[in-house]
Structure 1
Amino acid sequence: MHTLNRTTTTEMEVTSIRLERELKDKLKELSGNVGYQALIRDILWNYVQQKSGDYQTSISPTDIRASVAAIAEKEVRCVLTGQLIRPQESMLLGFTTGGELVPLSTESLAR
């Protein structure tokens, strides 16, 4: 997990958020030496970038360990090509080496 260097913590605003204890514990486990607050910031920035269309992925075809056919329920972008996948369009769900399920266009893994 790579923390996005956007600003120093001294320049950040303090925000309080209530999390279930189990969720906080899981975030701590997943964050390793990065820290769960940095992980939460990364998750939130990724969400904002995906929704705004500015998402830049570091996933490559070699990161996909398996894929399954699927039908898009809502509009998404292929993590490899950035291609728009529209609702009811055929797509793939890729399982990454990092354990994520990611949207893929049907031709993104063509060799």
Structure 2
Amino acid sequence: MHTIARTPTTDMEVTSIRLERELKEKLKEMSGNQGYQALIRDILWNYVQQKSGEWKPRFSRADIRASIAATAQQEERCVLTGQLIQSQQPMLLGLTKNGDMVPLSIESLAE
């Protein structure tokens, strides 16, 4: 996951959130050098951008190592184009350089 440039932490409001211990530990493991609070902010910003229509691509075609055909089981958004993929529509799952599987529209990898 790429870090989204945002406000310096000194200019942020302090918010308390309760997380299960296991969830917090998993976030710490996944965050690496980034820190789990920055990871949580990235996750929340990605969610807000996706749901609000302010989507911005986080990946390029060069980030995709392989793809496989799939069928969307719920509404998804292509990580390359931002195109909405409706439930039950054909799509691709792209394997990224980091080993993540991401939703891709069928047209997103066409030459």
SS at 2:88's partner residue? coil
Label 1:50 to 1:25 Cα distance change in 2 as closer, same or farther (>3 A).
same
**Aligned residue type for 2:39:** L
1:57 aligns with 2:79: no
The reply on whether 1:9 has 2:9 as its aligned counterpart is yes
Q: What secondary structure does 1:107 align onto? A: helix
Structure 1 residues without counterparts, runs of 5 or longer: none
Partner secondary structure for residue 70 of structure 1: strand
Q: Does the C-alpha gap of structure 1 residues 2 and 68 become closer, same or farther in structure 2, counting only changes over 3 Å? A: closer
Report the equivalent of 1:34: 34
- TM-score, normalization by structure 1: 0.84
User: 1:38: how far off?
Assistant: 0.9
1:22 aligns with 2:22: yes
What is the CA–CA distance in structure 1 between the aligned matches of 2:108 and 2:2, rounded to whole Å? 25
- Structure 1's 81 and 3: CA in aligned 2 closer, same or farther, altered over 3 A? closer
Query: What is the CA distance between 1:5 and its match in structure 2?
Result: 3.1
Distance across 2 between alignment mates of 1:101 and 1:2: 15
1:28-51 CA distance string (max 9 Å, x none): 222222211111111110111111
One-letter amino acid of the counterpart of residue 37, structure 1: Q
Shift >6 Å, 4+ stretches: none
Cα distance in structure 2, aligned partners of 1:37 and 1:55: 22
SS in 1 for 2:92: strand
Q: Does 1:97 align with 2:97?
A: yes
Deviations 1:81-110 (A, max 9, x none): 222222221111112112222111112112
Alignment RMSD: 1.8
Deviation at 1:2, TM superposition (A): 4.2
Task: Indicate the SS of the match to 1:92.
Answer: strand
